Amino acid sequence: KISYLIIKNIIIHEFENLEKVEDMILDLEDEIMEGTDDEHILKINYIRSLTRILVKNTRPLLYLGDRILKDNFRYLKYNDMKRSNLDNLQSIDFGIDKLYNFALSTRELADKLLDIYSSKVAEQTNDIITKLTLLTAISAPLTIITGIYGMNFKFMPELNLYYGYPLTIGIMFIIVL
């Protein structure tokens, strides 16, 4: 009975730890959705390493639970012990299975954080590229016009006209729009 209570307490404690890690993941996900920061990648790596450790440390409990149930099942059956002892062992095994599955799902959530971060960084990069493309589209025609006029200074028709330069600048402005 004491062993059952100790193992059950360990399982409950580990569930609480996993819930804290899950809360950390969800909070960080909300932060990333608001905007990325260089510090986020450090937090993601920390959480991913933490979840890896949790899964690694929970896996032996899985085997332990199966072994306890298997070894004691025959003993309980032959000695005609109370049904509650078998229920306790099955409860421990079930709790360990749930704990391991929770650790795995927490690990998957942590891995998805990296995907979310990458998506947000790609989104920001695309936004910057779009702005640079727009700037290039606006300045390219003007660059071509000034390049042509710069090379042909002797043959510019507006040199002979009184309103030649304002007319050329107006045409450039219309091209930009």
Most confident of the ranges 6-15, 63-72, 79-88, 135-144: 6-15
Is the pLDDT reported for residue 77 higher than 60? Answer: no
Confidence (pLDDT) at 2: 75
Q: Which CATH number fits domain 2-127: 1.10.10.10, 1.20.58.340, 3.40.718.10, 1.10.3720.10?
A: 1.20.58.340
pTM attached to this predicted model: 0.68
Confidence (pLDDT) at 11: 87
CB burial readout 66-79, b (16+ within 10 A) else e: eebbeeeeeeeeee
Q: Which two tokens stand for residue 147?
A: 């390049």
pLDDT band at 153; cut points 50, 70, 90: low
Q: Where in the chain are the domains?
A: 2-127, 142-176
Phi and psi at residue 163, to the nearest 5°: -105, 30
Is the pLDDT reported for residue 154 higher than 70? Answer: no
Fill in the DSSP letter of residue 161: S
pLDDT in tens, 18-74: 999 999 999 999 999 998 888 999 999 999 999 999 999 888 888 777 777 666 655
CB burial readout 15-42, b (16+ within 10 A) else e: eeebeebbebbeebbeebeeebeeebbe
